[in-house]
Amino acid sequence: MTQLTLLCLPYSGASAMVYSRWRRKLPEWIKLQPVELPGRGARYGEPLHTDMRRLALQLAREQLATLKPPYALFGHSLGALLACEMAHALRSLGGPEPVALFASGTAAPTMRADYDRGFAEPKTDAELIEQLRVLNGTSEEVLANEELMNLTLPILRADFQLCGRFEPLQRPLLKCPVHVLGGKTDRATPSQLIGWSKETHGSFSVDMLAGGHFFIHEHEAKVLRLIKDQLDIHHRRHAMTASA
């Protein structure tokens, strides 16, 4: 079976390496490719972005040189918005369409008026740390580590602005299927998640999992099973279309 590339975009404050462990847990026909953002991980020396579309276009140009179909995009929280913008950017550059877009853990692009309220302007360190507590994905030991926080908070501040300054555009819809994952106790409501259906002419699905904002880690096995099962369908469909 031909390999399918799965481009994975990180959530706010994270390196794309949060997905690296998935390599051992997905079948060989799925080629996991974490997409590192400027200003973190191996790209730590590069400037951080606060403009979502400019960042998506940069990432799309970087991927386009080697990206071949079939491929899919996955993103959690900030990464979901960025994955959607990358799909549009790749199309604008003449790139191939993804076989699927997975949007996880955040409100749809057209339903963010209240969701990102107050995030357009830079947050103080104290406000950022309190937000991390609310999201319940960072231990108190890490929050109390001044050296680690000095590295993390500038990234988180820029990433929150990426979301806070984001505004939806009127443009042709995507054609690929969109699959949404949500946490039952996360702040993204069912209606905000269902709003992702407005982003595509293709099919649409929503799966709700137990847990809060970081359900992708709390229930990793189930998340990966959902991704694998959906990709298997789209991969086979792509193979049939390509051979017709």
77-86, 139-148, 168-177, 220-229 — which is least confidently predicted? 139-148
* CA gap 234, 232 in Å, rounded: 6
Q: What are the distances in angstroms from CA 161 to CA 68, 71, 90, 155, 195?
A: 32, 28, 23, 10, 22
Q: Quote the pLDDT of residue 242.
A: 74
Residue 9, classified by CB atoms within 10 Å of its CB into exposed (0-12), middle (13-18) or buried (19+), is: buried
Mean pLDDT of 207-233: 95
Residues 6+ apart with CB under 8 A from 75: 8, 9, 10, 11, 81, 82, 83, 84, 102, 103, 104
CA–chain centroid gap for 238, Å, is 23
Active-site entry in 12, 15, 20, 77: 77
Could you name the CATH architecture of 4-108+172-243?
A: 3-Layer(aba) Sandwich (3.40)
How far apart CA 173 and CA 78 sit, in angstroms, is 20
The closest alpha carbon to 178, from 203, 142, 195, belongs to: 203
Picking from 212, 200, 209, the residue whose alpha carbon sits closest to that of residue 227 is 209
List pLDDT tens digits, range 24-72: 999 999 999 999 999 998 999 999 999 999 999 999 999 998 999 999 9
Q: What pLDDT is attached to residue 150?
A: 84
Q: Round to whole Å and give the CA distance between 222 and 58.
A: 32
- What digits encode the pLDDT tens for the residues 134-166? 777 677 887 788 888 888 889 989 999 999 999
Task: Say if residues 104 and 80 touch (Cβ distance below 8 Å).
Answer: yes
* 77 tagged catalytic: yes
In this prediction the pTM is 0.93
Please report the pLDDT score of residue 207 as a whole number: 98
Phi, psi of 221 (to 5 degrees): -60, -40
pLDDT of residue 1: 65
Domain-wise residue ranges, the chain = 4-108+172-243
Residues 6+ apart with CB under 8 A from 126: none
User: Chain-wide mean pLDDT for the chain?
Assistant: 92
Q: Copy the structure tokens of residue 49.
A: 């972005």
Residues 6+ apart with CB under 8 A from 7: 33, 35, 63, 67, 71, 72, 73, 74, 83, 86
Does the structure show a pLDDT above 80 at 198?
yes
pLDDT digits (tens, 9 = 90+) for 76-107: 999 999 999 999 999 999 999 999 999 999 99
Write out the two tokens for 177: 């299927």
Q: Which two tokens stand for residue 139?
A: 């231990």
